Chains A and B, each alone.
Chain A
Amino acid sequence: MAPAHPSPSIYVAVFMTLVGLTALTVWAASAHLGAWSGVIALSIATTKATLVVLYFMHVRYGERFIAVVAVAGAFWLAILVVFVLADVLTRSWLPILVR
């Protein structure tokens, strides 16, 4: 049976990775990547958040149902953002509705 919780050495490794990714995102933001910089910054942030959720918050080691709740939180946020942006970004397609 796998251990219910990871050991402190794994926590230290996750911490070092998170610090490294923070340095990477600061460097990438100043590297003149144009339109890609936002995508890269959010990808790095999502990677960091996933590491925290999987290791510090034990989702990788706990019950599967907890992972379902965690994914549901992110999924509902995605519904909110995607549908709001689907409205905002397509308003100009219908000239009659523009104030």
Chain B
Amino acid sequence: MPTTLRHSPGARVGLSIAVATGLYGISFGALSVSSGLDIWQTSALSLLLFSGGSQFAFIGVIAGGGSGAAAAGAAALLGIRNAVYGMQLNALLHPRGWRRFAAAQVTIDESLATSTGQTVLVEQKRGFWVAGLGIFVLWNVFTLIGALAGDAVGDPKQWGLDGAAVAAFLGLLWPRLRSKEAGAIAAVCALATVLTVPLVSPGVPILVAAVVAGAIGWFGFRHGPAGEGLEPDVDPYPGPPDAPGSTDAQAPR
């Protein structure tokens, strides 16, 4: 017997992660306009691209003087993990008809993490939809607020917005550096970036690092206990692993 929506643990966690994540849309909005995009372009990215990492990647390349093609390439490559999340969610929730398209659009780190942290199907569904749709609405509202604020600010450098972008990228990367191997991969890709910056056009070093990372992922693959697998960058269920609601539920396979 499912609990009512009011007392649903999935919906509750989904809502809290939606508020936390939605709020930082404000930083995307502000950084996007300071990178040179206008308010409409900024909002289009949040509405249509809707994947924090990829959106930051796009404006990060543009801000560095990179071409639109390099920006789109970096954003697209960073979105590949969402296909893997989509496979997991499809096996878990089996959305049908138009819901499948809606589910695809709100398939992001946070909705996956909220959903897979629940143990019963109805809560997995509620967690996914509440987190996904909640973040979609709030992320877009706060993107617009951030874009308007960023537009009102004069010189973005004076306000340290280029430093804010650096901090944002590190903040997105940080939760993924959970293992020594992840740290080693990051070190190699950092080196590849530094070495190629003087040699190729802005934006391209990021794609070079992507090729290096892809090769490490493909050729360094080994079967066995969890290698550098793919976990979403958020854990909506902090606390001791034996606390209620924090069980690491696996999708039925």
Do chains A and B interact in one complex?
A: no
Residue numbers of A with Cβ under 8 A of B are none
